[in-house]
Amino acid sequence: YEGAAPAFRDLVRSWPDAAYSYTASVVTDAGESDRSAPLELACAGAPAEMRGVRETAFGGGWSGLSWDRAGVAGRQPQFYELSTVGEYARKVVWNGVAEETGPLQLASLREEGPWAVDARVNSMSFASQQHQFPSAEAALPWRPAPWSGLPALRLAEADRGGVRLGWSIDRGPTDLAIGFVLEMADPKEGARFVEIYRGEAEDRAVTGLACGAEYLFRVKAFAGRHVSSFSEALAVYACGGPSPPVDLRACRLDEGAGPLALTWGSPEDAGGCPVEEYLVFEDTASGRTLLGATDGHEFAPSPEAGLRRFHVCAATAQADCGASAALSAWWASAPGPPVLRQSEPAPGAELLPTEVALAWDPVVPADAENAQVYYVVQGKEEGSEMYVDSTSRPIRSTTVTVGGLQPHARYEFRVGALLAAPSG
């Protein structure tokens, strides 16, 4: 080019990545200047032929297309266009920019095929100029997927070091064999999913897992060119169920001043997973009833009076255990404290210098008339801080003779009442 314009556009077509070199100089009446440093430019070629165009099923009965991006001369196409191919014309139904690598997916297509996917690339030959080259086309006849929705994944069984998973999908009328791909990920290893099974079975045992560790699983279906999206990830633990809680008891909280409650100990074997909560049940006229759940080792049921029967079950993230041994307890308000007094020995009996006779009036709560009342007697020498039991076990009698004392020493005594269910 030679002229007075300050810019020039050279519209050229070249082989892919063919280089062009430009220089410029200034011409005046006095002569021509030295040439500028060369400017080298390259034009991009057409994208490679589209590959991997396939039908894909999405949730809710929708279907779509997916494809692999087509590169060109070390670049990625920047623009895609999806259209239906008719007898005389093409109808564009979607277009968009895609700069990343990997598969693209487009959902919510209801129109009839066949389809064509075009890739277009824009290359810069000048800062203000773009060249656009048409891509190759890949036409695909459209057929509906032989299913609707996503696969459903479930845990069928779990044990130490292994699990068994099952899955299903809503099948439509088809003669195509439907296969499945099962993938697993370990969150501790970055949650990267790895394929562990491909086939037509609808369940699979996975072994060799760390006991108590969490794993993620997902599954997708395929049939011919159809590939569904993955199911929601399912988190499972490779561990068995815990053993029942131990030492279930009924007692009053807050050192005897609080409400009547159940307490228990942890299972001897949690099955490899931590216990997340305990479930408390009561046997009633309508069957075993769940009263509530707690993550601790105590639970205060409702205060209805009467003879009641309880069970406690431990639950982990993976499984529930069998119920504990049943506890039958008389549920009632606490008996009032007995009034303790020093008494005379029984007729015809004499007290030794190391003995003392004690007595108190019987106490029975109004809502537990049929309950059996036992008494616990404790004493301590004056100046001591600790009470000790004065009898080897709770007693039914309202009198007691305490022996083994120091002559002429001063002692303090106290008595408490316990309720027990009627015999039988």
Task: Report whether 415 contacts 338 (CB < 8 A).
Answer: yes
Nearest-angstrom CA–CA distance, 56 and 65: 5
Token look-up 């109004």 returns: 366
Domain ranges of the chain: 51-140, 152-237, 246-331, 340-420
Residue 195: what pLDDT? 93
34-82 pLDDT per residue, tens? 998 887 765 555 555 556 666 555 443 444 566 666 665 555 555 677 7
Q: Looking at the domain that runs over 246-331, which CATH code has it been given? A: 2.60.40.10
Residue 144: what pLDDT? 67
User: In this structure, which CATH number among 2.30.29, 2.60.40, 3.40.50, 1.10.10 belongs to the domain 51-140?
Assistant: 2.60.40
107-159 pLDDT per residue, tens? 445 455 566 666 665 544 333 333 344 444 545 555 667 888 899 999 888 77
Q: Any residues with CB less than 8 A from the CB of 85 and at least 6 apart, and which?
A: 113, 114, 115, 116, 139
State the CATH class of domain 152-237: mainly beta
Q: Which amino acid is at 48?
A: A
Nearest-angstrom CA–CA distance, 386 and 107: 77
Residue 154: what pLDDT? 93
Residue 124: what pLDDT? 40
Nearest-angstrom CA–CA distance, 298 and 89: 76
Residue 50: what pLDDT? 59
- Tokens for 213, please give them: 């560790």
**Which segments of 10-120 does DSSP mark as H helices, in order?**
none
Q: Any residues with CB less than 8 A from the CB of 287 and at least 6 apart, and which?
A: none
Task: Report whether 105 contacts 64 (CB < 8 A).
Answer: yes
CATH topology identical between 51-140 and 340-420: yes
Task: Report whether 73 contacts 103 (CB < 8 A).
Answer: no
Neighbours of 167 (CB within 10 A): 22
Residue 140: what pLDDT? 52
pLDDT < 70 regions, the chain: 9-19, 41-79, 84-90, 96-144, 160, 175, 212, 224-225, 240, 255-258, 317-323, 332-336, 365-371, 420-424
State the CATH class of domain 340-420: mainly beta
